[in-house]
Chain A
Amino acid sequence: MGHDNTILRVTDVHKYFRRGSERVDVLSGLNLEVGEGEFFGLMGPSGSGKTTLLNLIAGLDVPSEGEVWVGSNCISRMSESQLATWRTRNIGFVFQFYHLLPVLSAFENVELPLLLLPLSAGQRRQQVETALDLVGLKDRMWHRPGQLSGGQQQRVGIARAIVTDPLLIVADEPTGDLDAKSAVEILDLLEELRSGLEKTIIMVTHDPRAARRCDRVRHLDKGQVVDGSALQGEHVEEHVG
């Protein structure tokens, strides 16, 4: 599917690991494009390569073969340290288990990525407050993760992901560890980000309710994009029940 304003292009990507003399293929010849401002969902059974793909997109890993383009950068050719710098500016990562640093306050957690950018303390403060305001946690910004509920922690996680105003927000099962009510709130927030701030969001999920919020969902199986509503239906039943 072609977009005029493609922001992510994955072409013929292979990813394999070696286990002894055996080659384990995780992704085999995968192609994918995501347009700017799209809320894109990735589904698939365990071991289908969702997370591996997400890691390649986020620049946490490099493909064995093929290319990954984000905007005008071919990130699959970057060195590790180039990737690190690139990530800070271009990727916002939301984790299933939030992964906030427990000893830092919400404010400090959100501030972390900004510390790598050439910003003054005042600028940082302003950006952090804006981000926390956006996720509705400005009044809790001096709380530590331990003092926040799961949903609130995930909102801090999202604030941390958007604080650098990245090109892509990458979310790995953002509702996977939350109760239904909190999950709805987080999905509302993500939709808001897309519609209000026109962020591009790529989300891996098992949850059909989450998938329904996406503009477009693709399914992964055995390292390849497979399409078909039958498969989607299967999953819906699997997970709702």
Chain B
Amino acid sequence: MTQPGLLVLLAANFTLPQLAPWSLAPLAMGVVFALLLAVLGRVPLRYNVRNLQVRWTTTGLTAVAFVIVLGLLTMMLAFVNGMYKLTEQSGQPGNVLVLSEGSTDESFSNLGFSDVGDIELQPGVSRNEENRPLCSRETYVVVNQPVQVREPGRPNGRFTQVRGVDDPVISGDVHGLELLPGGRWVGQAGVQKLADEQEAIEAVVGEGIARELGRDRLPEARAKAKNPERIDVGETFPLGGRTWVVVGVIRSSGSTFDSEIWAKRDIVGKMFGKQGYSTLVLRTESPAAAQTLKDFLNKDYEKASVQAYVETEYFASLSETNKTFLYAIVVVTAIMSLGGIFGVMNTMFAAVSQRSRDIAVLRILGYSRLHVLASFLLESLVLAILGGTLGCLIGGLMIHGRQAASIVSSGQGGGGKFVVLEMLVSGDIVAVCLAIALVMGILGGLIPSILAMLIRPLESLR
């Protein structure tokens, strides 16, 4: 997944089903428009293609402008798509997430011990084979972790998300998380003695944070490690002034849990001064049951004031930053496309003035103004599609499946989760990029084509 540059892998990873009709509409319109031009304009397309070949430097440069603009757009959209995937895929529709009332973010939430014990006994909460409630009791903290290996231009600390859980197995079950082979969940004690008699906190880490921690390893530890990409079972890392040992790695689920470190709650709570619970996640029979339980806890439950969310809703609400980025991308794309449009326009103006004789001959042979317009507009579209496709492809190859750090948040009063996401080029993105390329081609080609249309054949042959 992390090897870019391989078309095969790209094809294998390509999420074609993810083609929403709305994203196809502009592309389809563009394609229909191009086809219409091809049918209306009788000038053979090979005339345009060969002219593009003849003026290959200008053609090439114009295509390069398209490649840059659309390659960049593809990358930016893949990044935001990764963020949206993360917020959409995190959480289970049948889970109810409980925070203390008024908290919009887990890190601000404080639930009392007694409340937690009562909430998990409420009707609607599923139970496992041992008849224990499927309730994940969690203390979520964001910890400042100094970076071991200082790289130039990088800060010397980062924020790491640690989730203390009472019963890791049940919690893993509730969240539907699996460990990679060779790992196990944190044991009852939550600590173990290392070979050098040092006591280490047992931790299960998400694949995303495992990569981050893997990068942080001291050179000698990295040299010895069996997995150069990420930290693996048996390796240690420092956090909060203690040594932690990885006992399991959570299989990537494309959720925010990929960026978390899990350990025993009583250790985490004590270490970081958060005695109570921050979060309670309850498994129910079905999404409908989750909705019922949520409503009950918010409206009718009186023993404690809590704020319940269906888990998927909670994560969906963390998309404020995504929106900010998307908005920024729209602005960036608009500005850069304008630059690109002016570039194409220049190319097409030159094409028209160089070929005014050709145009005159065509007109004399009986081709109408509309035919000429269509021919030049089509040429601009060919250029746009060529450059756009190449840009999309290059951008996609460079970025698809790569990991990037980011933040997702609800935009309210800070908070948010620091996440490692996978940048994903989807069918939607390709469709949008190609549609934008077409629009750029049309806008850039229109005025020069009109100019071509207005050429007076007799005068330009003189």
Is B47 part of the binding interface, using a Cβ–Cβ cutoff of 8 Å?
yes
Spot the interface stretch: B244-252, B313-321, B361-369, B415-423: B361-369
CB distance from B112 to the nearest CB of A (A): 81
Q: Give the chain B neighbours of A100 by CB distance below 8 A.
A: 361
Task: Report yes or no: A93 in contact with B458, Cβ–Cβ below 8 A.
Answer: no
For chain A, the count of residues having a C-beta within 8 Å of the partner chain is 25
Is A95 part of the binding interface, using a Cβ–Cβ cutoff of 8 Å?
yes
A112 vs B46: C-alpha distance in the bound complex, in angstroms?
12
Q: A69-97 interface mask toward B, CB cutoff 8 Å, 1 = contact, 0 = none?
A: 00000000000010011111100010100
Q: Give the chain A neighbours of B368 by CB distance below 8 A.
A: 81, 84-85
> Which of B360, B365, B458 lies in contact with A112, CB distance below 8 A?
B365
Q: Give the chain B neighbours of A86 by CB distance below 8 A.
A: 366
Task: Report yes or no: A103 in contact with B51, Cβ–Cβ below 8 A.
Answer: yes
A137 vs B362: C-alpha distance in the bound complex, in angstroms?
22
Task: Report yes or no: B44 in contact with A115, Cβ–Cβ below 8 A.
Answer: yes
Is A1 part of the binding interface, using a Cβ–Cβ cutoff of 8 Å?
no
Task: Report yes or no: B358 in contact with A87, Cβ–Cβ below 8 A.
Answer: no
Closest to A115 in B: B42
> Which of A58, A84, A103 lies in contact with B54, CB distance below 8 A?
A103
Task: Report yes or no: B364 in contact with A93, Cβ–Cβ below 8 A.
Answer: yes
Task: Report yes or no: A104 in contact with B363, Cβ–Cβ below 8 A.
Answer: no
Is A99 part of the binding interface, using a Cβ–Cβ cutoff of 8 Å?
yes
Q: A104-122 interface mask toward B, CB cutoff 8 Å, 1 = contact, 0 = none?
A: 1000100011011000000
A108 vs B361: C-alpha distance in the bound complex, in angstroms?
14
> Which of B51, B361, B367 lies in contact with A84, CB distance below 8 A?
B367
Is A101 part of the binding interface, using a Cβ–Cβ cutoff of 8 Å?
yes
CB distance from A197 to the nearest CB of B (A): 20
Task: Report yes or no: A116 in contact with B367, Cβ–Cβ below 8 A.
Answer: yes
Task: Report yes or no: B366 in contact with A60, Cβ–Cβ below 8 A.
Answer: no
A112 vs B51: C-alpha distance in the bound complex, in angstroms?
16
Task: Report yes or no: A101 in contact with B358, Cβ–Cβ below 8 A.
Answer: yes
A102 vs B42: C-alpha distance in the bound complex, in angstroms?
18
Task: Report yes or no: A112 in contact with B362, Cβ–Cβ below 8 A.
Answer: yes
A81 vs B370: C-alpha distance in the bound complex, in angstroms?
10
> Which of B42, B43, B53, B461 lies in contact with A95, CB distance below 8 A?
B461
Is B50 part of the binding interface, using a Cβ–Cβ cutoff of 8 Å?
yes
Closest to A61 in B: B458
A19 vs B100: C-alpha distance in the bound complex, in angstroms?
88
A88 vs B461: C-alpha distance in the bound complex, in angstroms?
18
Q: Give the chain A neighbours of B358 by CB distance below 8 A.
A: 101-102
Closest to A55 in B: B458
CB distance from A97 to the nearest CB of B (A): 8
Is B427 part of the binding interface, using a Cβ–Cβ cutoff of 8 Å?
no
Task: Report yes or no: A87 in contact with B365, Cβ–Cβ below 8 A.
Answer: yes
Known: A85-B366, A116-B367. A103 touches B42 (CB 8 A): no
Is B357 part of the binding interface, using a Cβ–Cβ cutoff of 8 Å?
yes
CB proximity to B under 8 Å, residues A188-203: none
CB proximity to A under 8 Å, residues B362-393: 362-369
CB distance from A20 to the nearest CB of B (A): 18
Q: Give the chain B neighbours of A103 by CB distance below 8 A.
A: 47, 50-51, 53-54
Task: Report yes or no: B47 in contact with A116, Cβ–Cβ below 8 A.
Answer: no
Is B187 part of the binding interface, using a Cβ–Cβ cutoff of 8 Å?
no
A116 vs B41: C-alpha distance in the bound complex, in angstroms?
10
CB distance from A51 to the nearest CB of B (A): 9
Task: Report yes or no: B51 in contact with A87, Cβ–Cβ below 8 A.
Answer: no
A89 vs B54: C-alpha distance in the bound complex, in angstroms?
31
A108 vs B357: C-alpha distance in the bound complex, in angstroms?
17
A113 vs B362: C-alpha distance in the bound complex, in angstroms?
8
Q: Give the chain A neighbours of B458 by CB distance below 8 A.
A: 55, 60-61
Is B133 part of the binding interface, using a Cβ–Cβ cutoff of 8 Å?
no
Q: Give the chain A neighbours of B365 by CB distance below 8 A.
A: 87-88, 93, 112-113, 116, 160
CB proximity to B under 8 Å, residues A30-85: 55, 58, 60-61, 81, 84-85
Q: Give the chain A neighbours of B42 by CB distance below 8 A.
A: 115-116
Known: A55-B458, A60-B457, A61-B458. A116 touches B50 (CB 8 A): no
A84 vs B357: C-alpha distance in the bound complex, in angstroms?
17
Q: B260-290 interface mask toward A, CB cutoff 8 Å, 1 = contact, 0 = none?
A: 0000000000000000000000000000000
Q: List 24 A-B contacts (CB under 8 A).
A: A58-B364, A81-B368, A84-B368, A86-B366, A87-B364, A87-B366, A88-B366, A93-B364, A93-B365, A95-B361, A99-B360, A100-B361, A101-B361, A103-B53, A104-B44, A104-B50, A108-B44, A108-B47, A112-B362, A113-B366, A116-B42, A116-B365, A116-B366, A160-B365
Known contacts A81-B368, A99-B461, A113-B365; 9 further A-B pairs (Cβ under 8 A): A61-B458, A84-B368, A87-B364, A88-B366, A103-B50, A103-B51, A115-B42, A116-B42, A116-B366
Please list the 9 inter-chain residue pairs (A to B) with the smallest Cβ-Cβ separation, ordered nearest first: A88-B366, A103-B50, A87-B366, A99-B361, A115-B42, A113-B365, A84-B368, A84-B366, A101-B358
